[in-house]
């Protein structure tokens, strides 16, 4: 176990002004607080926070973070309180330790909802001070290094969570070494056979290639030095998980990989990066399509480097990264490289213009937009795992998106309002589908319309969490608006039927009595069928005693349904006595965005039919023709019956659904004749199914779209006139 003076020395190497007394005090306090506690391995428990602190010294973090690491389990696992830590070490360190305590339960979760909710807690805890995340990552890294001591039934859960959340989160923070070690440790636990196989093959390859890596290092160093550049060239072997993931993604064998070894060229200045690149590309041929400039367009986690692949010394394919030493430090330590070393209680730990920190803040903003923990977890994983493409607005603004992003994702990245109103896109000056995949360097112009609302189907197309959250939010708002619109019409007409004057001011005043906060809440509840319109009327006019008994009575008219064999079925129609009153009947124009309207599932309804609406909770209005026998099912529920009327726009004709049953002679071409009649009459066949067939006749049920009852009757008459047709009847389901 590391001694007290050894920890202080580790910090002093990179921070000569360290507060040695503070570190000593924290070391002694944590050791005494944990006392005789033991880890699963049998080691003193204090060895764990001490190792976490050591990991953070490798990241060159400030005194407050090192102290928080030493104390991070004290509130949770000992009798220490936040007040005591504030008194001894100061409120800032106290806040860090409490933030870590709140997310301690993040470990060993199994259900997705729990994992998602705990991820929320983690990100909220680091919203104000990202040092909480740095300590948590170091905590997880040490736990993964000692995973073999954890009970076997928990190991896979911890490893999977590490691979799903912590490793990609470390990558997003630019901490690539930590990400790779977390991935390898998880991979080793989750797929031990694959891990061992790749390690064995790497060892065989190393023995076979011998001095190849050293030879390539020397040749690259000599080539750069000849041009007067002072550079350090380092070669390294890719890690097992990185190799396995590439094999899986490209469906190739280990032997087919040509980039197992990577090399870095480190120089002093940015311009020397491009000079070194020129040397390399002049001496060895470039592999087409493998050059990326992350210096001019850094990644969201602040990563900057030149990437290229050459056919290098010995005809070996060589991956190269060229960067300055400062860029290398950020690439290795990520957001931790932005630390400003002040006194132990200094508030400004990080530069707030860090791109990684900006991504973190944007991710936290999604917390307020997701409707469920699972939805937030889905969005965050999308953001964590995707690689990036760099696109531009027409004015040159850089927009960084995940791979496979579409112009819809681009629009939402620009602004949520732009995404909601997007109707088209121009990519590099040419009209492109909104579902097309964007490429690096694309210039994207979004075409918008104030009349547009995002279709729900977009959710399955986009790849960014922000776009999915916005689309779901807009879809929920649109559905709510539909129900609110329907509810308003129902309430208005209920008030008129009661002989009262409708007033939104009076309704707003009565909303509290209905346990609703706003007019829209009341309307939406009525539209969904969660609240009766009569109850709303009573809330507005308490003196109103409700409909008279004769108005409550269900039977008020009769309907006839002609059965196929010529028999008739008679039934009663509640509330239908004459043509609907235009003042109280809800106008129906078909299925649109204004009202959540459906038509009878079997048979439909068309203009010209006398119709009635049935209110179904959560579904809106279902419109039936009054001859539909299905209405018998609702005779005992008169409160669900609504007066509705047709309101067809003659200048904008639309088809309505109807169902017919055709019995036709079984001979070649009979179906073609039926389809020809419907087509010539401008009907639209939407579905067709054979309900029965025999050697002589086929019985088919056809769903067609027609403009009105006259249009339907014309089609039926023409079909009956065909010799191949035995009978045609309309279905009144």
Angle between helices 152-161 and 176-190 (to 10 degrees): 140
- The packing angle between helices 192-209 and 176-190, to 10°, is 120
The enclosing H or E element of 138 equals helix 131-145
Q: Is 77 a known active-site residue?
A: yes
CA Rg value for the chain: 36
Minimal CA–CA distance to 108: which of 147, 68, 51, 54?
Answer: 147
DSSP letter (8 states) at residue 554: S
Scan for tokens 């699963």, then name that residue: 40
Does residue 269 come out as left (phi exceeding 0), alpha (psi in the -120 to 50 range) or beta? beta
Please name the residue that has the structure tokens 């590391």. Answer: 2
In angstroms, the CA 225 to CA 280 distance is 11
**Distance from C-alpha of 49 to C-alpha of 32, rounded to nearest angstrom:** 13
Cβ neighbours for 409, distance < 8 A, ≥ 6 positions apart: 401, 402, 438, 462, 463, 464, 467
Of 9, 24, 76, 635, the catalytic one is 76
Q: What is the rounded CA–CA span in Å between residue 347 and residue 95?
A: 12
- Strand locations in 626-694, DSSP E? 641-642, 644-646, 656-665, 684-693
219 is catalytic: no
- Measure the N-to-C terminal CA separation of the chain; round to a whole number of Å: 80
Q: 43, 77, 293, 521: which is the annotated catalytic residue?
A: 77
Give the span between the Cα atoms of 701 and 113, in whole angstroms: 45
Cα within 13 Å of Cα(139), Cβ side: 24
Going by the DSSP 8-state scheme, the letter that residue 238 receives in this structure is P
Interacting residues of 464 by C-beta distance below 8 A, sequence separation 6+:
382, 383, 401, 402, 405, 409, 412, 413
> Three-state secondary structure along 574-585?
ECCCCCCCCCCC
> Where is 550: in which H helix or E strand?
helix 549-552
Is residue 343 within 8 Å of 325, Cβ to Cβ?
no
Q: What is the DSSP letter of 649?
A: -
Assigned token pair, 322: 């060229």
CA dihedral 487, 490, 496, 498 (to 10 degrees): -100
For 605, other C-beta atoms within 10 Å of its C-beta total 27
Q: Say how many residues make up the chain.
A: 733
Q: Tokens at residue 536, please?
A: 């709303």
Catalytic positions are 76-77
């Amino acid at each position: 176990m590391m001694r007290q003076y050894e920890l202080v020395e580790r910090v002093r190497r990179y921070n000569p002004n360290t507060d040695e007394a503070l570190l000593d005090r924290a070391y002694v306090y944590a050791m005494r607080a944990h006392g005789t506690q033991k880890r699963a391995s049998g080691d003193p428990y204090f060895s764990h926070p001490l190792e976490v602190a050591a990991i953070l010294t490798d990241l060159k973090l400030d005194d407050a973070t090192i102290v928080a690491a030493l104390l991070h389990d004290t509130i949770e696992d000992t009798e220490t309180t936040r007040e005591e830590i504030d008194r001894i070490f100061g409120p800032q360190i106290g806040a860090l330790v409490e933030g870590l305590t709140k997310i301690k339960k993040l470990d060993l979760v199994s259900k997705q909802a729990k994992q998602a909710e705990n991820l929320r807690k983690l990100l909220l805890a680091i919203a104000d001070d990202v040092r909480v995340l740095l300590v948590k990552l170091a905590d997880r890294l040490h736990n993964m290094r000692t995973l073999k001591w954890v009970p076997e039934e928990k190991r896979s859960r911890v490893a999977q969570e590490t691979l799903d959340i912590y490793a990609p989160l470390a990558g997003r923070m630019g901490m690539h070494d930590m990400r790779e070690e977390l991935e390898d440790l998880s991979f080793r636990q989750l797929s031990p056979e694959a891990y061992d196989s790749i390690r064995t093959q790497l060892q065989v390859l190393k023995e076979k290639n011998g001095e190849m890596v050293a030879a390539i290092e020397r040749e690259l160093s000599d080539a750069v030095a000849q041009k007067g550049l002072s550079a350090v060239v380092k070669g390294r072997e890719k890690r097992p998980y990185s190799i396995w993931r590439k094999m899986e993604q490209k469906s190739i064998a280990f032997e087919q990989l040509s980039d197992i070894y990577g090399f870095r060229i480190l120089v002093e200045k940015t311009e020397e990066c491009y000079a070194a690149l020129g040397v390399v590309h002049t001496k060895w041929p470039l592999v087409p399509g493998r050059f990326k400039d992350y210096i001019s367009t850094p990644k969201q986690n602040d990563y900057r480097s030149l990437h290229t692949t050459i056919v290098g010394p010995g005809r070996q394919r060589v991956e190269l990264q060229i960067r300055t030493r400062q860029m290398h430090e950020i690439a290795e330590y990520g957001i931790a490289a932005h630390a400003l070393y002040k006194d132990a209680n200094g508030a400004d730990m990080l530069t707030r213009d860090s791109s990684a920190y900006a991504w973190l803040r944007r991710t936290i903003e999604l917390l307020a937009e997701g409707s469920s923990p699972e939805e937030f977890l889905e969005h965050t994983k999308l953001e964590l795992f995707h690689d990036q493409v760099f696109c531009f607005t027409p004015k040159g603004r850089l927009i960084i998106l995940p791979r496979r992003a579409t112009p819809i994702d681009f629009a939402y990245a620009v602004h949520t309002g732009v995404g909601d109103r997007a109707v088209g896109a121009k990519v590099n000056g040419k009209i492109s589908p909104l579902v097309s995949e964007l490429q690096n360097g694309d210039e994207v112009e979004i075409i918008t319309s104030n009349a547009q609302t995002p279709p729900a189907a977009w959710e399955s197309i986009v790849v960014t969490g922000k776009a999915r959250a916005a689309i779901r939010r807009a879809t929920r708002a649109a559905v709510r608006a539909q129900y609110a619109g329907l509810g308003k019409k129902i309430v208005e007409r209920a008030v008129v039927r009661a002989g009262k004057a409708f007033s939104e001011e009076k309704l707003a005043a009565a909303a509290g009595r209905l346990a609703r906060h706003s007019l829209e809440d009341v309307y939406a509840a009525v539209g969904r069928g969660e609240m009766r319109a009569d109850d709303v009327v009573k809330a507005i006019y308490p003196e109103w005693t409700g409909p008279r008994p004769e108005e409550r009575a269900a039977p008020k008219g009769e309907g006839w349904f002609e059965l196929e064999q010529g028999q008739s079925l008679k039934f009663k129609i509640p509330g239908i006595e004459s043509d609907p009153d235009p003042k109280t009947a809800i106008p129906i124009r078909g299925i649109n965005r204004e009202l959540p309207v459906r038509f009878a599932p079997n048979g439909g309804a068309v203009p010209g039919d006398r119709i009635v609406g049935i209110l179904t909770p959560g579904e809106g209005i279902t419109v039936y023709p009054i001859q539909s026998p299905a209405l018998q099912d609702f005779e005992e529920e008169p409160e669900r019956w609504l007066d509705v009327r047709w309101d067809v726009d003659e200048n904008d004709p639309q088809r309505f659904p109807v169902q017919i049953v055709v019995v036709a002679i079984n001979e070649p071409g009979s179906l073609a004749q039926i389809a020809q009649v419907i087509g010539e009459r401008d009907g639209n066949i939407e579905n067709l199914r054979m309900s029965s067939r025999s050697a002589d006749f086929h019985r088919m049920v056809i769903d067609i779209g027609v403009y009105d009852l006259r249009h339907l009757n014309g089609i039926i008459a023409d079909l009956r006139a065909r010799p191949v047709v035995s009978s045609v009847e309309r279905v009144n389901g």
